[in-house]
Chain A
Amino acid sequence: MIEVKNLTRHFGAKVAVDNLSFKVQPGEVLGFLGPNGAGKSTTMKMITGFLRPSSGNVWVCGFEVQENSIAAQRRLGYLPEGAPLYSDMTTVELLSFIAAVRGFSGQEKLRRIANVVERVHLESVLHQSIETLSKGFKRRVGLAQAILHDPEVLILDEPTDGLDPNQKYEVRQLIRTMAKDKVIILSTHILEEVDAVCTRAIIINDGRLLVDDTPTALQPLDEKFRNLTTTDLRKAA
């Protein structure tokens, strides 16, 4: 499980995440909603131990992420925003590298790779270099490396962004099948996605928690969310 307590992060004078607290239990799929720049990615980076909080704490399966980052990171799978990957490697080389870093070798490593390749349908691009893959396949490779070690906690930063409707459907399907005994946090700016896969949703804006509820209860809030997004747009314009 994940516990986030009074999490705050400044970038210079700007407060990206402001005193955020919440807990997520196994079996829950938590949707992070909010306009661009709301602090979703920053929060996720702090949960994965990549980014140091200005103040506050995160516990992943009981391990404080800054104090005991390796133990926390072992239990965690992460798909960073935009699914960055080593583009000079082939799909199978990349998965093999991730497996090796995570301490798998020999038969176990092969079994794990074969398993994710099948789950995410990467058979056709195994020996293709990652820079030549389409956006959809890159996202799937990113997803494959995140679930390779069957983590207890899965953090997915915009897992369906830029995918076509079929690919979106497949990724959501995959998330749903994994949801049973895991903690999953995913960020999105599509309310419909929260509806499709999440059991709970949090809306954040300007780094602060606005709403924490079930997606059904969120339905009437559709309007509110849209207002948020449009204010954001107006600000941008």
Chain B
Amino acid sequence: MKSHALRAVYTRELAGYFNTPIAYVFMIIFVVLAGLFTFYLGDFFGRNQADLRSFFQWHPWLYLFLVPALAMRLWAEERRSGTLELLLSLPITATEAVIAKFLAAWTFTALTLGLTLPMWITVNYLGNPDNGVILASYLGSLFMAGGYLAIGSCMSALTRNQVIAFVLTSVVSLLFILSGFPMVLDFFSLWTPDMVVRTIASFSFLTHFDAVSKGVIDLRDLIYFFTLLAFWLFATIIIVEAKKAD
């Protein structure tokens, strides 16, 4: 699958983020909000614990509205401006194009996540945290961001309107968060067998992110995230192929 075409699209996309203000706005807002939430809402100092739980617990919610903003232009913009026709009449398969664009966006979120490393340094300066747990949490957060992005990629392929792509991505992502929430699970447990409830819970980002950020990298959680990525990217490929001339 690795080809020069894939690499070329990946490079173009990644550079594209920095050609526009999107990159800087996204990075600054993510880092600032993550900091504010950690210190004020998360009460980082008051907890008096040398860990980053109060930092990572906000990631699912920050991603909920920031990642859709990043993902909305992936395909919608190509469709609106007509460049989709330019791109897909080049010797590149839809699969390569979808993967290249996704990887570029994912790399960008990884860079943004990298900008929060001062948090890690701070907590190490103040105490002796379990750095294994922190590393696992970063990994979990990165995978979760990938999940949101894959959903966003698919929603963006559905429409030429970036606002619609944004809203759809947020809503679908919210479903993937809420499916781990007691109020949703209680609703289902009233009338469905226990197995169904557990299946619904296992769809949630929260369930798996919490598990990983406890420092235990379980194969099941990894399989969950990989399946999630594969499913949504595959759906993106199908939609791009089917709707490319609309």
Are the chains A and B members of one assembly?
yes
Stretch at the interface among A76-84, A178-186, A187-195: A76-84
Is B92 interfacial (CB 8 A cutoff)?
A: yes
Q: A51-B245, A86-B83, A88-B19 are in contact. Are A101 and B5 (CB under 8 A)?
A: yes
Contact B20 A88 (CB under 8 A): yes
Bitwise, B1-25 to A at CB < 8 A (1) or not (0) is 0001101110110011001100000
Bitwise, B206-241 to A at CB < 8 A (1) or not (0) is 000000000000000000000000000000000000
Contact A100 B7 (CB under 8 A): yes
Q: A100-B4, A100-B7, A101-B4 are in contact. Are A84 and B81 (CB under 8 A)?
A: yes
- Interface band, chain A: 20 to 34
Contact B5 A80 (CB under 8 A): no
In the complex, what distance in Å separates the CA atom of A145 from the CA atom of B90?
10
Contact A84 B90 (CB under 8 A): no
In the complex, what distance in Å separates the CA atom of A53 from the CA atom of B217?
48
Contact A85 B86 (CB under 8 A): yes
Which residues 95-140 in B have Cβ within 8 Å of A in the complex? none
By beta carbon, the residue of chain A nearest B15 is A93
Contact of B11 among A73, A82, A100 (CB under 8 A): A100
Q: A82-B82, A88-B20 are in contact. Are A48 and B89 (CB under 8 A)?
A: yes
Q: Which B residues are CB-close (under 8 A) to A89?
A: 12, 16, 19
**How many B residues face the partner with a CB closer than 8 A?**
24
Closest chain-A Cβ to B94's Cβ sits at a distance in Å of 10
Which residues 40-86 in B have Cβ within 8 Å of A in the complex? 81-83, 85-86
Is B171 interfacial (CB 8 A cutoff)?
A: no
Closest chain-A Cβ to B119's Cβ sits at a distance in Å of 32
Q: Which A residues are CB-close (under 8 A) to B83?
A: 84-86
Contact B88 A50 (CB under 8 A): yes
Q: Which B residues are CB-close (under 8 A) to A105?
A: 4
Contact of B86 among A51, A76, A84 (CB under 8 A): A84
By beta carbon, the residue of chain A nearest B3 is A103
Q: A51-B245, A88-B19, A88-B20 are in contact. Are A98 and B81 (CB under 8 A)?
A: no
Is A233 interfacial (CB 8 A cutoff)?
A: no
Q: Which A residues are CB-close (under 8 A) to B4?
A: 100-101, 103, 105
Closest chain-B Cβ to A92's Cβ sits at a distance in Å of 13
Contact A50 B11 (CB under 8 A): no
Is A74 interfacial (CB 8 A cutoff)?
A: yes
Is B91 interfacial (CB 8 A cutoff)?
A: yes
By beta carbon, the residue of chain A nearest B5 is A101
Contact B86 A100 (CB under 8 A): no
Contact A70 B93 (CB under 8 A): yes
Q: Which B residues are CB-close (under 8 A) to A45?
A: 85, 245
In the complex, what distance in Å separates the CA atom of A50 from the CA atom of B93?
11
In the complex, what distance in Å separates the CA atom of A51 from the CA atom of B94?
13
Contact of A49 among B15, B20, B89 (CB under 8 A): B89
Closest chain-B Cβ to A12's Cβ sits at a distance in Å of 11
In the A-B complex, list the 10 residue pairs whose CB atoms are closest, starting with the nearest.
Answer: A84-B82, A100-B8, A73-B91, A48-B89, A101-B8, A80-B85, A51-B245, A74-B91, A78-B89, A50-B89
Seen from chain A, the residues whose Cβ lies within 8 Å of a Cβ on chain B are 45, 48-52, 69-70, 73-74, 76, 78, 80, 82, 84-89, 93, 97-98, 100-103, 105, 145
Other contacts beyond A87-B81, A88-B20, A97-B12: 4, CB < 8 A: A51-B245, A84-B81, A86-B12, A97-B11
